[in-house]
Structure formats: structure tokens, C-alpha cells
Amino acid sequence: MGEDTFPGWHGTTIIGVKKDGEVVIAGDGQVSLGQTVIKGSARKVRRLTPGGHEVVAGFAGSTADAFTLLERLEAKLEATPGQLARASVELAKDWRTDKYLQKLEAMLIVSDGKDIFVITGAGDVLEPEHDVTAIGSGGNFALAAARAMMDTDKSAEEVARQAMAIAADICVYTNGNLTVEKIKA
């Protein structure tokens, strides 16, 4: 994502797991520029409380761009309290059509505990088929690992943590310094 626009930047790994009435979003803490680790303890998963309704969001991509998107999402959630799907679609529409927002290089995983979505700059609001989704440079590794564990007796948090550990072992742009947020339906 954005490799051609911002060569040398590689992003993170964020995973969302929905299981047994709760959603866990976990993200690693590594920020890389080319071959160099700039920071190992960034917080890329946040808890938002617009209008008293809790939402957990994780982001991959440019931090400044992600914060801009999170602010926009909060505004959409305040305008449509308790309606994460509607707020997500409104954000995606703005992101796709607004000339300023179109340049933003990030992706989001968001959840209110009931639903979990990936929001992209292409105007997509995607709901995962198997209650697991992942984004970022190690996203496919984490996704595959989590999907393999979904039929076990592991909790959503255990699945997310173990999948992130596997991604960190494989992807050089992902570390094991996790931020984990849980939200119940």
C-alpha cells in the first residue's frame, strides 16, 4: 500500500478477531523506514468513545493519515451514534471522493463489538467472511494463522496474540510489541 508513492515505507500488522461475543483488535508496535526500525513501541490500536459508544480501531499505513481518518470516523460516529456500519460507509464515501482524503495512505479495522469492518481508501467497507481480518505488511500471515485457529477452543484474544506472534516471526516489518483492545457486543 503506497509503496510506489512512498518507496521505503513499510507498515505494520493489525488483526481483528470476532469470537464468542467479543472482538479483539491487536497491532504490533514497529515503525520502519526502509531497512531501519524507527520505533518499536507505537500504539496503532485505539479505543474511541464518540457519543458514549465504544469503538476500537486499528490502523496500518501513514500515522498522520490514519489519525486524520480516525478523527473523521469519530465525527461520523457522533453524527450517527451507535451506527458503525453507516459511519464507516460515510467515511469511505468521503475518502473516495474528497481530493484531500484521496491522498491518504492508510487502512482501518474498526469494531463496535457487534460488527467488524475494514475501511479502505478505495471506498470499500469490508466485513470479513470468517470473523477474522488483517491488514498491513504482515496481514496475510496473521490472517492465515488466525483462520487456522478459529475452530479451536482459544479465545479471540488468544487467537489474535498467537496469530500476531506468527506474523512477527515471518514479517520483518512486524514486531511482537502488541497493543490489544477488546470490545464485547
Q: Are 184 and 30 in contact (CB under 8 A)?
A: no
Coil, strand or helix at 65: helix
**Phi, then psi, of 27 in degrees rounded to 5:** -145, 150
Would residue 49 show up in a list of annotated catalytic residues for this protein?
Answer: no
Q: Which three cell numbers stand for residue 36?
A: 531501519
Active-site residue identified among 5, 12, 120, 133: 12
CA-closest candidate to residue 1, choices 108, 74, 85, 88? 108
Q: Which three cell numbers stand for residue 79?
A: 453524527
| Residues designated as active site | 12
